[in-house]
Amino acid sequence: VGGVVGGAAGAVGYGIRGLARGGEILRPAVLVTAAASLGLSAVDRLRGEGAVPLNPLAGLCRAGDFWIRAAPLLMRYRIEEQISNRFIRDPAEKQRRWDRLHDRCAPKALASILALRGFYIKVGQVASSRNDFMPMQIIKALSTLQDDVPGKEDS
């Protein structure tokens, strides 16, 4: 199959596995998006100009960076849940404890999101608009992501 349709299908296939060029792996989303709208020849041009190379271990390193930042916060919430469920009977005291925890963790969550950038900023933006299940302290902290996100650094 040739042309744009064949090019798009081929790029999607390469995008799922990652397209390698000289030991560098290109971001699959970039390849799939370009292939879907412009055809494989545009992907070939993209590979040569301005594509963001990734080390094969970059995804693993990024996942590790996420968990190093997220695990302590998640553990604090899990510990508080256990303490509240087992030892605290007064609903007002439970709420005070949860509010204090949210106050302490919200700035740390924001700092982690800003450090991780990209996808995590988008998740933070969505979370900051969900007052149906997110605590107000976290919504307030993450609301800065709606309009005050630092620009992308030039490489």
pLDDT digit string, tens, across residues 58-117: 888 989 999 999 999 999 999 999 999 999 999 999 999 999 999 999 999 999 999 999
Gyration radius of the chain over CA positions:
21
Strand order in the sheet with 53-54: 19-21, 24-26, 53-54
pLDDT digits (tens, 9 = 90+) for 37-47: 334 344 444 44
CB neighbour burial string for 127-140, b if at least 16 within 10 angstroms, e if fewer: bbeeeeebbebbbe
pLDDT in tens, 25-73: 444 444 334 333 334 344 444 444 444 556 778 888 989 999 999 999 9
